[in-house]
Amino acid sequence: MQALRGVSFMVAPAAMVVIVGKSGSGKTTLLNCMGGLDRPDSGRVIYAGRDLHCMPQRELSLFLRRDMGFVFQFGNLLSYLTVFENIAFPLTLNAVADNEKKRRVSELLERIGLADASRALPHELSGGEVQRVAVARALAHRPKLLLADEPTASLDSATGRNLINLMFAMGRESGCTMVLSTHDTEVMDLADQCIRIRDGMVQEGEGRRQ
């Protein structure tokens, strides 16, 4: 079975992109291929002129750690780390100094409206708060590209829409390209570009700003 077929599209730097499609249409497979987590049997994923899947493993790991951020469907916060420590985690991986780490995490906590929750553990947060922390964590190391696989799937539609608005606002402020997947066709009008996927085939649509 082919999860993706004849997929071809381009994403402009700093664009806010939404991938919409029903369950099983291939959104996760597509994002995983775009992020270098899955290797397509054929085809290329070109990022800033480089084919991700031709990079040596070491270079790919470095690229993932420095340039990419991921948000998963259910947050995937580390349950034994506080909110602060979760957001700081990619900065530790990138050997950012402690004072700079503290500055950046505090700034992000303010931005996501959780400055008072820095010492909380993930199980003490609501679903929407967990996802906001996951977004802050994915942006902490200032990636150039953020991929988010149904970051709003566990949220009600108003909370989900607020999260996407927050993500896109943060992306626009920082110049980070964002690609997120969703079932919710209503969020299409928040994006610069919309990619519709059906049975593994992409039909590129147009978002609000194109």
Contact footprint for ligand ATP (CB under 6 A)? 3, 21, 23-29
Residue 125 backbone zone (phi > 0: left; psi -120 to 50: alpha; other: beta): beta
Which H or E run includes 71?
strand 68-71
CA 7/CA 175 separation, integer angstroms: 26
Pull the structure tokens for residue 10: 């381009």
The residue (of 114 and 164) whose beta carbon lies closer to ligand ATP is 164
User: For residues 3 and 135, which CB has a smaller minimum distance to ligand ATP in the complex?
Assistant: 3
**Taking contact as CB under 5 A, which single stretch among the options 26-34, 44-52, 78-86, 197-205 is the one that binds Mg ion?**
26-34
25 contributes a contact to Mg ion by CB under 5 A = no
| Beta carbons within 10 angstroms of residue 159's beta carbon | 17
CA-to-CA distance for 47 and 59, rounded, in angstroms? 13
Q: Which of Mg ion, ligand ATP, none binds 25 (CB below 5-8 Å, type-dependent)?
A: ligand ATP
Minimum CB separation from Mg ion for residue 194, in Å? 17
Minimum distance of Mg ion from residue 150's CB (angstroms): 6
28 interacts with Mg ion by CB under 5 A = yes
Q: Within 10 A of 38 (CB to CB), how many other CB atoms are there?
A: 16
Contacting positions for Mg ion (CB under 5 A): 27-28
